[in-house]
């Protein structure tokens, strides 16, 4: 299992580089004033595909990071506590559909907004996670690289979703983030185990939300192509 994850991480490390390039391309050039470079235009379908790819990769890397962390730092008897820590997820308060039937009922707009909420709520905690993992003595570099990569990709994902909202929904730019205040609190945990469990909870919750984001975007794409057979 350990070797498999390492191999997977190696594969994904090689796969991540093209996505770094894609992430570096500014999705919306109109906002930048005075820039000399011409922005490449991209179609809505292609943009959606790219966003979906981002989401898929983010989920996969987050899943690998969680597994790696779990194997390395979490004691075995405590490993299932993530399932019980549903309350501890920071995004539990967000009005996000949680079943397929619910998703079928909400509109595209709400779907996109849900995704955006999720993305925006996880940017800051991931940054915090980077700092905490650096404090671990024997944290493997692979884990640190993955979390770093995920936090960077999340930012580009947010940019993509914003452009999508503007293009698809013809709405103005959303400047405010939902979880700017109070959702995430940094508490100093002197106990090592507590700290580990908190980070573990963080990783597993992010993994769940990444999965959520991926499915939402895929369903949105299905709705764009075939309205009648999609969820």
Q: Are 91 and 121 in contact (CB under 8 A)?
A: yes
For the chain, the farthest-separated pair of C-alpha atoms sits apart, in whole angstroms, at: 58
Contact status: 60 vs another protein (CB under 8 A): yes
CA neighbor of 89 nearest in space, from 209, 214, 219, 229: 209
Q: At closest approach, how far in Å is the CB of 50 from another protein?
A: 15
Q: At closest approach, how far in Å is the CB of 37 from another protein?
A: 34
Give the residue with the Cβ less far from another protein, 166 or 218: 218
CA neighbor of 146 nearest in space, from 24, 56, 64, 54: 64
Contact status: 49 vs another protein (CB under 8 A): no
Q: At closest approach, how far in Å is the CB of 99 from another protein?
A: 4
Contact status: 231 vs another protein (CB under 8 A): yes
Interface pick for another protein out of 138, 175, 181, 185 (rule CB under 8 A): 138
Give the residue with the Cβ less far from another protein, 39 or 139: 139
Q: At closest approach, how far in Å is the CB of 75 from another protein?
A: 5
Tell me the torsion sign for CA atoms 210, 54, 185, 78: positive
Q: Are 78 and 198 in contact (CB under 8 A)?
A: no
Contact status: 100 vs another protein (CB under 8 A): yes
Q: What are the structure tokens assigned to 149, written together?
A: 């990569």
């Amino acid at each position: 299992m350990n070797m498999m994850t390492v191999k997977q991480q190696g594969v994904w490390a090689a796969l991540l580089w093209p996505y770094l390039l894609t992430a570096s391309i500014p999705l919306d050039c109109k906002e930048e004033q005075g820039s000399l470079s011409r922005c490449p235009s991209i179609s809505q379908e292609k943009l959606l595909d790219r966003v979906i790819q981002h989401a898929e990769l983010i989920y996969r890397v987050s899943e690998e990071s969680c597994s790696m962390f779990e194997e390395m730092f979490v004691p075995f008897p405590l490993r299932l506590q993530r399932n019980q820590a549903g309350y501890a997820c920071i995004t539990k308060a967000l009005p996000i559909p949680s079943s397929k039937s619910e998703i079928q009922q909400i509109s595209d707009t709400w779907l996109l907004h849900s995704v955006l909420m999720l993305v925006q709520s996880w940017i800051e905690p991931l940054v915090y996670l980077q700092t905490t993992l650096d404090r671990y003595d024997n944290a493997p570099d692979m884990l640190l690289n993955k979390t770093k990569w995920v936090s960077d990709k999340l930012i580009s994902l947010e940019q993509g979703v914003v452009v999508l909202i503007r293009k698809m929904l013809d709405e103005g730019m959303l400047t405010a983030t939902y979880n700017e205040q109070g959702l995430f609190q940094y508490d100093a945990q002197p106990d090592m185990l507590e700290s580990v469990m908190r980070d573990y909870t963080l990783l597993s919750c992010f993994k769940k939300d990444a999965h959520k984001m991926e499915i939402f975007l895929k369903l949105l794409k299905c709705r764009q192509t075939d309205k009648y057979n999609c969820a």
